[in-house]
Structure 1
Amino acid sequence: MRVMKWSMIALAVSAGTSQFAMASAQDDAKGFVEDSTFGINTRALYFSRDFRNEPANGYTIVNGKRKSRAEETGLGFNALYQSGFTQGTVGFGIDLIALGGVKLDSGKGRSGTGLFPTGSDGRSQDDYSKGGGAVKFRISDTVLKIGDQYTTAPVFASDDSRLLPELPQGISITSNEIKGLKLEGGHFTSSVAQSQTYHDSLGLTKTDFVGGVYSFTPEFTGSLYYAKTEDYFRKYYGNLNWTHALSDDQSFAIDFNIYDTKSDGAGLQRAEKDGTTKLDNRAFSLQGAYTIGAHTFTLAAQKVTGDGDYGYGVDGGGTIFLANSIARSDFNAEGEKSYQARYDINMATFGIPGLSFMTRYVTGSGANTGTTSNGKEWERDIEAKYVIQSGPAKDLSLRVRQATYRSSDGVYYGSPSLDELRLIAQYPLNIL
């Protein structure tokens, strides 16, 4: 999940603290049906990757032939029903998830974008579906959920960067009993990958995590998490975020993230890559953003120290809350240091609400790739987004994302050069 993930932490704190009042959330329960919500998010996605100057042993399709391009278009549907909680000391409810994807355009020589399941012949499947449900219980401001559910914890986060999201299965508990503090924990035993339909498609056997986010002041928050993914690694994660309003139209924000990762058991994450070194590293990033009116200027620095890359994926494709995890690369190789410059503009200030633009550039060096100790890479991203503000198509968002990636050393899994384009149309329909 390659976005500015610090905003997710802020949203989590906001969601938790918004419930604090004299009465608990369960005291205010209106009922199983009365508090129900149902919505369908529809996403159309055109995804293209042009592999430039690809080496003979680079990106291949299943039958082993070289390909110069991956290009597909699909339509995805994400339906979510969330019941309310029954009244009483212990509230009961259910969540139901239904996901479906339809191939609109592809080809044997253009498959491999990660939008669809791919057969042994290298062709993408015409359509696919998955889903599930969870039961939930609430006492006061604490919720226990058992079953299929999306996750956003920085040590176990489901990815939603393709047509359909990952869907983990397990148990989670979230508590907002203490004002300003959100506590959560989870025990997950499988997860359905974005382009797959079967459990265990991420290779997960078990992840246990615990952590929380605390709001020291309205401007300053911190979080601390621990997770252990069986036969892969254990992780510690810490975050500090400070946002300060300088005036009515000016603000400054600082965000610091750090992961401490060490191989556990069989250490499969590293063994799958080169069969030798175990993971034992620290990955951290520091990001600062200055906003004045419609403009936001961001600078970030990121560094990986110790043995191995920052490893993630089996614990969720979104489990990388680092500043320089962006559209194509994560800049998370062993020993790598990277720097980012970013600019955002919100056109609402100029009379066009809903329209925004973003561009950023990240450069990395010092990556230990096994063939060089000074691997270099860079990426440039450009994005334009428009959200319709009113009328029958209100909340329909249209987005164009273009990424250019280059590396003379093949830092990003042996793919030295590519151009990527995504066209995304997304419409959330709230039925209940």
Structure 2
Amino acid sequence: MNKPCLSPALTACILGLSLSPVAHAEFLKDSSATLEARNYYFNRDFRQEGASQNKREEWAQGFILRMDSGYTEGPVGVGVDAIGMFGFKLDSGGGTSGTNLLVPDRSGGSQDYSSDLAVAAKARFSKSALRVGSMQFKNMAVSSSDSRLLPQVFRGGQLVSKEFERLLIDGGYLSQVNHRNSNDFEDLTINTSSKRGVTIRGNNASDAFGFLGGNYRVTENLTAAYYYSNLEDLYKQNSFNLVQVLPLGEDQSLKVDLRYARSTDDGRSNVDNNALGAMVSYSLASHRVGLGYQKMSGDTGAAYIGGTDPFLVNYVQISDFANKDESSWQARYDYDFTGIGIPGLKFMMRYLNGDNVDLGATAGDGKEWERDTELKYVFQQGAMKNFSVRWRNAMVRSNFASDVDENRLILSYTLPLL
């Protein structure tokens, strides 16, 4: 059953009735708008014999218009946020679809173009803000994916409060999701991919996800966070995070990021997981070196809403290393070329290795590794300012999932409109 929400027409009507001439001026003065043109090439080769599809390869152009209004004057200010999305196919065919860049068609290929509009009404009172409608989310409980042509958006509401010093309180409710390769809203699901060991009794669908949590800045360099979330009938989760940044002198620092999530079933699943993760990063001038560790325990792998970006230390370009009983480690290196006089150019390389995946009593233990390389340049001035070129390369090898070589080339230009 779908939960009611504000349609774009109803949102506009409410805002139009509430704006006096004076309030209208404030509403516009603090507004912002940007238009991003995103050109995306995606190539994923499957390297193992007997693969049902040898390659996924598509090229597409997208446009993302983001408009955030200010608030009207008064004890309770109102406003509206909107995301307009349009994407069209530049190249796809010959059985190479399935990259999630484009909306699939009934023939097994991809549609020529797609468009969507996400609108949310918002209200501000004191130091709290409420949004209701269609929007993106980003917190420990749920994080919208924006790693393809167009972003993933949810239908629901969110209240964020900063009434208390150093404390942020965040609560919300989601009813449906519009995935990054879809034109339609649909019910939420739990991720059951790979060797999760998650089983569902009946439908893998829910139209109710609630969360409540926040973060507290204990000191200038120490932040603690907690979220409770519940995907109705499928799982409940308690998530904890502790981040400490230790200045070590001029241009040096040490960052420690600890994460733990306890997930259990909520009636129609067998979810039972403990996800422990830690990442330690040392920065020296333009260099940063990081080491990470992640451990899954319990009867299943990690639980999170399908299609979203999970709050896991070892969630990377292709894999999340969150299968049943999996242990994994990560080594990462970042370099900012500003240090040698090339501002805007950044490089990253990481290697992850996972093992002890439960493949069943007779199949032995599963193993996998992934290597990611990324190079990104953002023009800093002139006519090309805000234009970025980003290349992402990944290689995955596994004894229980697909062997993959992947390349992504993303050209992006963001034009400020307001």
Question: What TM-score, normalized by structure 1, do the two folds share?
Answer: 0.85
Structure 1 match to 2:193: none
How far 1:30 sits from its partner (Å)? 7.1
Cα distance in structure 2, aligned partners of 1:69 and 1:387 = 30
1:35 to 19, 30, 34: 30
2:118 to 132, 153, 173: 132
Maintained 8 Å contact 1:231/1:265: yes
Structure 2 match to 1:169: 155
Code of the residue aligned with 1:175 in structure 2: it is S
1:295 to 287, 305, 311: 287
1:395 counterpart = 2:348: no
Maintained 8 Å contact 2:142/2:305: no
1:258 to 256, 260, 263: 260
1:206 counterpart = 2:208: yes
Code of the residue aligned with 2:60 in structure 1: it is G
SS in 2 for 1:33: helix
After TM superposition, list the pairs within 5 Å mapping 1:351-370 onto structure 2: 351-370=341-360
Maintained 8 Å contact 2:141/2:239: yes
Structure 2 match to 1:62: none
SS in 2 for 1:262: strand
1:48 counterpart = 2:43: yes
Maintained 8 Å contact 1:226/1:237: yes
Cα distance in structure 2, aligned partners of 1:176 and 1:30 = 25
Cα distance in structure 2, aligned partners of 1:185 and 1:37 = 25
How far 1:372 sits from its partner (Å)? 3.2
Cα distance in structure 1, aligned partners of 2:293 and 2:116 = 39
How far 1:54 sits from its partner (Å)? 4.0
Q: Deviations over 1:361-420 (max 9, x none)?
A: 000000013463410000001111111000111121111110000012x1xxx32x1100
Structure 2 match to 1:3: none
Cα distance in structure 2, aligned partners of 1:295 and 1:145 = 39
SS in 2 for 1:156: coil
Q: Deviations over 1:91-117 (max 9, x none)?
A: 011112211111111104110111111
Range with greater deviation from structure 2 (371-380 or 212-221): 371-380
Code of the residue aligned with 1:264 in structure 2: it is D
1:404 to 391, 395, 414: 395
1:230 counterpart = 2:232: yes
Code of the residue aligned with 1:90 in structure 2: it is V
1:122 counterpart = 2:108: yes
What 5-or-longer segments of structure 2 have no aligned partner?
1-22, 190-205
How far 1:423 sits from its partner (Å)? 0.4
Cα distance in structure 1, aligned partners of 2:212 and 2:188 = 21
Cα pair distance change 1:140/1:69, threshold 3 Å: same
Cα pair distance change 1:201/1:114, threshold 3 Å: farther
Q: Deviations over 1:334-378 (max 9, x none)?
A: 000001111111110000001111111000000013463410000
Cα distance in structure 2, aligned partners of 1:372 and 1:137 = 55
Structure 2 match to 1:78: 64
Structure 2 match to 1:182: 168
Structure 1 match to 2:20: none
1:346 counterpart = 2:336: yes
What 5-or-longer segments of structure 1 have no aligned partner?
1-27, 59-65, 268-277
Maintained 8 Å contact 1:192/1:202: no
Maintained 8 Å contact 1:385/1:399: yes
How far 1:430 sits from its partner (Å)? 1.1
Cα distance in structure 2, aligned partners of 1:255 and 1:29 = 44
Structure 2 match to 1:306: 298
How far 1:130 sits from its partner (Å)? 1.1
1:246 counterpart = 2:248: yes
SS in 1 for 2:26: coil
SS in 2 for 1:284: strand
Code of the residue aligned with 1:160 in structure 2: it is D
1:216 counterpart = 2:218: yes
Structure 1 match to 2:201: none
Maintained 8 Å contact 2:188/2:207: no
SS in 2 for 1:392: helix
Cα distance in structure 1, aligned partners of 2:363 and 2:145 = 31
Q: Deviations over 1:308-349 (max 9, x none)?
A: 1112233x511x111111011100000000011111111100
How far 1:202 sits from its partner (Å)? 4.5
| Bigger relative contact order, structure 1 or 2 (CA pairs below 8 A, ≥6 apart) | 1
Maintained 8 Å contact 1:160/1:194: yes
Code of the residue aligned with 1:381 in structure 2: it is D
2:79 to 87, 90, 93: 93
Structure 2 match to 1:107: 93
How far 1:266 sits from its partner (Å)? 1.6
Structure 1 match to 2:375: 384
Maintained 8 Å contact 1:30/1:87: no
Maintained 8 Å contact 1:356/1:384: yes
Maintained 8 Å contact 1:193/1:201: no
Code of the residue aligned with 1:187 in structure 2: it is Y
1:149 counterpart = 2:140: no
Cα distance in structure 2, aligned partners of 1:355 and 1:36 = 30
Cα distance in structure 2, aligned partners of 1:367 and 1:30 = 59
Root-mean-square deviation (Å): 1.6
Structure 2 match to 1:8: none
